[in-house]
Amino acid sequence: MNVAFAAGGTGGHINPALAIADKLKDVFPETNILFIGSPDGLESKLVKKAGYDFAPVKMAGIQRKLTPHNIKLNVQAVHYYLSAGKRIRKIFDSFHPDLVIGTGGYVTGTVLKTAVKCGIKTALHESNSLPGVSTKMLASKADLVMLGTKDAKKHLDKCKKCVVTGNPLRNNIPIEEKSEARKRLGLPDCLTILSAGGSQGASRINEAVVQLLKYEQEKGNINHIHGYGKHGKDTFMKSLEENGINADDPHFIIKEYIDNMYTCMCAADLIITRAGAMTLTEITAIGRASVLVPYPYAAENHQYYNALTLQNANAGRIIDDDKLTGAELIDTVTKLTDDPELLSLMSKNAAKLATNDSAGIILREITDLMELR
């Protein structure tokens, strides 16, 4: 069987595609896999690193904020779109896909639309609680639509077949007991908070966390792990010093990039983060309460809807980015950490949202679609 994947733009679109590809190859080793994406996009780097074949097609997303520069980019994007169909057809003629799977990003819309016209079977996977433009556009045409959350179904009108599968992770999360994870990190066995804004960092989260760290240091006996990211490199540590915070406190782990995130998540009682779909998938897989600060410039504000899924299940609390201050974060965190029963309940509710073996569920849906049983 030949399977082509269309995924691009962000890790939240690309990593689920890689997880599905990994599962396909594991169960059906003879499967030939090809990824289609932009040569300038993150997909090119991640797919090649994973060892899969990659077919480049020049594509670009439409910029929503209209500035002279963005209008120029949009004209270029339209040009790419008009010529992409011909290039994709050539790829199909050479690869002969039996199935084309799209997992989001501007790449998905063009590739799956062409596949439908060519009479090739198609499947979509949507990781966010608010489906993206490509999923909404193609849901009624694709042979199979797979969703990361039940909430996503509310936003889709018509589907040939729509199934909630959860979001697949490439690697199983090694679940550790909190005390063991803390021991491995060299932290005392007490209340632990993890915060991060992603590898690039988030200035609003960094600024608020400085004040939270100051509060925690004064209160004592609270562990805090924080990743300030690339954009906080020149400012975060300086801000700690200006606020009289001892970065070498044995209760604190403060670094630019957290490279042992799963261990840190297992050690935490509460996680403060953005609300990307795959981050929330990891939080629910481990089962942790969270304070979520959705990235306000995400397409169609989809991170807010991701966070809302957890908040509505009493598994998380949302603080809007424009309302995030040190005082607001301290107030939200203390209301949770001062109530161990609530924190425990939220963690259990988060675990209930997890879908075990999402990749396996997706594979079963694909085998049914392709009549491989």
> What pLDDT shows up at residue 82?
57
Whether the pLDDT of residue 14 is over 90: the answer is: yes
Q: Which of 139-153, 186-200, 331-345 has the lowest mean pLDDT?
A: 186-200
Query: Which domains are present in the chain?
Result: 2-167+357-369 (3.40.50.2000), 178-352 (3.40.50.2000)
pLDDT band (50, 70, 90) for residue 272: very high
Give the residue-averaged pLDDT of 276-288. Answer: 96
What was the pLDDT predicted at 79?
Answer: 52
For residue 66, what pLDDT is reported? Answer: 62
> Across the chain, what does the average pLDDT equal?
91
- SS3 readout for the chain: CEEEEECCCCHHHHHHHHHHHHHHHHHCCCCEEEEEECCCCHHHHHHHHHCCEEEECCCCCCCCCCCHHHHHHHHHHHHHHHHHHHHHHHHHHHHCCCEEEECCCHHHHHHHHHHHHCCCEEEEEECCCCCCHHHHHHCCCCCEEEECCHHHHHHCCCCCCEEECCCCCCCCCCCCCHHHHHHHHCCCCCCEEEEECCCCCCHHHHHHHHHHHHHHHHHCCCEEEEECCHHHCCCHHHHHHHCCCCCCCCCEEEECCCCCHHHHHHHCCEEEECCCHHHHHHHHHHCCEEEECCCCCCHHHHHHHHHHHHHHCCCEEECCHHHCCHHHHHHHHHHHHCCHHHHHHHHHHHHHCCCCCHHHHHHHHHHHHCCCC
The reported pLDDT for the residue numbered 70 is: 59
pLDDT tens digits along 305-325: 999 999 999 999 999 999 999
Residue 199 pLDDT > 60: no
